[in-house]
Structure 1
Amino acid sequence: MTALGPTRRRHEGFTLVELLVTVAMIGLVFAAITAAFTVFIRNSDDLDDKLNASQNAQRLAIHLPPDAQSSQTAEASPAGLTCATRGDAVLALDWTDESTSASYRVEYTLDASTDELVRTACTGTSTDETVVGREIIAASATVTDPVVSITATSVDADAGTYDYTITGRKRT
């Protein structure tokens, strides 16, 4: 006992109310983190689909403009394929190298069985095939001298379709 009254013992620890408030606050923080994580996961799937479609456009953009610039003749939806072994014809480009007299042909085809846009380059007996687009459900070409274009539609089950057009200019 002191002069002011009985001494109170101070108990170390937390009260039940303090513990309940803390648990409730932790629950709110975890709920917010879970919601943010869920949104991130959903958006990352959509972003992944858009990036895949964008990569298709980039792969086609790597090949079509130089092919078009080299070509002397271009034909949209040619009747027959001379070097491509698969798919339906979308575009054929031909040219002759004036310094070597070598003939070149590049054919772009849409293979419906694999949903791929394929570039096949032929020189004499040599053939080189490159996939320039995956998950492509439609592709068409237009030739309006000197402009050559391919429009492709990429599809994803979750994101829908993504259309893009890549253009090049023939040499004149």
Structure 2
Amino acid sequence: MKFNRFRSINRNQRGFTLIELIVTVAITGLLGAGVTMAMFHVFTQSNQNTNSMAASKHALNAMHWITRDAQMAQTVDPDEASGFPLTLSWTEWDNSSHQVTYTLEDGNLRRGLSIDGGAPSESVVAQYINSDNATTNCELVSGVLTLKVTATVGEGSRTTSVTKVRQIAPRPGL
């Protein structure tokens, strides 16, 4: 009895109605649009995160090297306008004199180390550093070196800038 009733329901259905097809296409379109937007957001956000991490890495690397040398320095001589070139000098325990000069050229922060007046060994310690005096500078006030470094990575509307500020006290009493 139940089997015959089920058979009669199936006989009356001949396919999908136009309304059912339109609703199905609309739902599929909305799902497709949502997936497309999510994928676009993931790819865009991934690029922005990569730029942000790179800018942060380079700004922190610049801070690390300058802090390391400034804490050893007995003499700190920043340029009056922007602070770069920044010259740091000290004498080691074995009486060897060290002089480090930081220069900013084409977005690269270069470190030149000279020991006992010899030829300086040059290395790039950070890239993507802004050379604008307002965003990257250092100044010596009351024996404390204030360093501000801004790194910018990316192009056009997808640029990311990271600014780090640190106050560094050179070796006391020397």
TM-score (norm 1): 0.74
> What is the DSSP-based 3-state SS (H/G/I as helix, E as strand, rest coil) of the residue aligned with 2:164?
strand
Matches within 5 A, 1:98-109: 98=93, 100-109=94-103
Q: Which runs of 5+ in 1 are unaligned?
A: 79-87
Change (3 A) 1:77 1:15: same
The change in CA–CA distance for 1:66 and 1:145 in structure 2 (over 3 A counts) is farther
Q: Percent of counterpart pairs with the same letter? A: 24
Give the corresponding residue for 1:166: 166
Higher strand share: 1
* CA offset digits 1:19-60 (Å, max 9, x no partner): 443332222111111112222223333322222221122101
Larger relative helix fraction? 2
TM-score by length of 2: 0.73
Identify unmatched segments of 5+ residues in structure 2.
none
**Cα 1:42/1:9, change in 2 over 3 Å:** closer
**C-alpha separation in 1, matches of 2:99 and 2:27:** 69
- State the 1:169 CA deviation: 1.7
Q: Which residue of 2 aligns with 1:116?
A: 108
Q: Which position in structure 2 is the counterpart of 1:44?
A: 46
Find the aligned partners of 1:92 and 1:14 in 2 and give their Cα distance: 84
| Root-mean-square deviation over aligned CA pairs | 2.9
1:22 aligns with 24
Task: Please say if residues 84 and 138 of structure 2, whose CA atoms lie closer than 8 Å, have aligned partners that are also in contact.
Answer: no
Aligned to 1:82: none
